[in-house]
């Protein structure tokens, strides 16, 4: 198993970041994300926590040699569970690949939380555990290394993409605020 960890800060308040997160795709930096669907969604009336189950279809960009070896299809499916606690101002997303999971599993956890020292900022953490299954045991180490590298590259473009979405979202939010204060 190989681990990947990353911490980053966004200069936007948590409410905006968490709302923009629902509109992250499509963005031009992440063309590999093909479809996003909500499967289940529920609010806990006691805690106020919103839980969402989504299915995400991604275009696999694993190196051709690996795809050839394992005979995988180019479209892969990921299940994501997100938990949003509006009182703690924390969003936690966990995702795991549904397809090819017997060969390799990638369990990712992402959190967005209000910066305790500055409410105008949001702290982002990302971690992933990548494990190649026993079918690939002889090459597991190599495949895990390649996969972590891919994950790092994808994570970086993912952040760039989200940064763009956030910028657009902030402009929209500003527009609607000034529009509503104009009419008020």
Partner 1 sequence: MSSSIGANCTELKARYDSCFNKWYSEKFLKGSTETECEDLLKEYKACVMTIIKEKQIDKLLAEARKESPFPSSSSTSS
Q: Which residues bind partner 1 (CB under 8 A)?
A: 15, 18-19, 22-23, 25-26, 33-45, 48, 50-51, 53, 55, 57, 77, 79, 81, 86, 94, 96, 98-99, 101
CB of 77 to partner 1, least distance (A): 6
CB of 55 to partner 1, least distance (A): 7
Indicate the residue among 27 and 147 with the shorter CB distance to partner 1: 27
CB of 138 to partner 1, least distance (A): 26
Indicate the residue among 93 and 146 with the shorter CB distance to partner 1: 93
d(CA 83, CA 90): 8
CB 155 within 8 A of CB 4: yes
DSSP readout, 106-140?
EEEEEEEEEETTEEEEEEEEEEEEEEE-GGGGGGH
CB of 136 to partner 1, least distance (A): 19
Indicate the residue among 18 and 147 with the shorter CB distance to partner 1: 18
**Closest listed residue to residue 112, CA positions, set 147, 164, 55, 159:** 159
Indicate the residue among 48 and 63 with the shorter CB distance to partner 1: 48
Indicate the residue among 22 and 142 with the shorter CB distance to partner 1: 22
Tokens 């198993």 correspond to what residue? 1
User: What does the block give as tokens for 56?
Assistant: 């995400």
CB 180 within 8 A of CB 139: no
Give the E-state strand segments of the chain in sequence order: 2-10, 33-43, 50-59, 75-85, 90-97, 104-115, 118-132
User: Most distant CA pair in the chain: distance in Å?
Assistant: 68
CB of 71 to partner 1, least distance (A): 17
CB of 126 to partner 1, least distance (A): 19
Indicate the residue among 38 and 179 with the shorter CB distance to partner 1: 38
């Amino acid at each position: 198993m190989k681990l990947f960890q990353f911490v980053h800060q966004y200069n936007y308040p948590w409410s905006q970041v968490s709302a923009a997160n629902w509109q992250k795709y499509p963005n031009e930096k992440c063309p590999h994300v093909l479809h996003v669907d909500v499967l289940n969604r529920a609010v806990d009336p006691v805690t106020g926590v919103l839980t969402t189950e989504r299915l995400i279809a991604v275009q696999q960009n694993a190196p051709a040699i690996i795809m050839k070896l394992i005979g995988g299809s180019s479209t892969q499916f990921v299940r994501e569970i997100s938990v949003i606690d509006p009182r703690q101002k924390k969003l936690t997303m966990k995702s795991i690949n549904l397809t090819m999971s017997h060969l390799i599993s990638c369990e990712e956890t992402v959190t967005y939380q209000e910066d305790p020292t500055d409410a105008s900022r949001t702290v982002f953490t990302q971690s992933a555990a990548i494990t190649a299954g026993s079918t690939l045991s002889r090459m597991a180490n190599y495949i895990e290394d390649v996969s972590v590298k891919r994950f790092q590259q994808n994570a970086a473009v993912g952040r760039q993409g989200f940064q763009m979405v956030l910028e657009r979202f902030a402009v929209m939010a500003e527009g609607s605020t000034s529009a509503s204060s104009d009419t008020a």
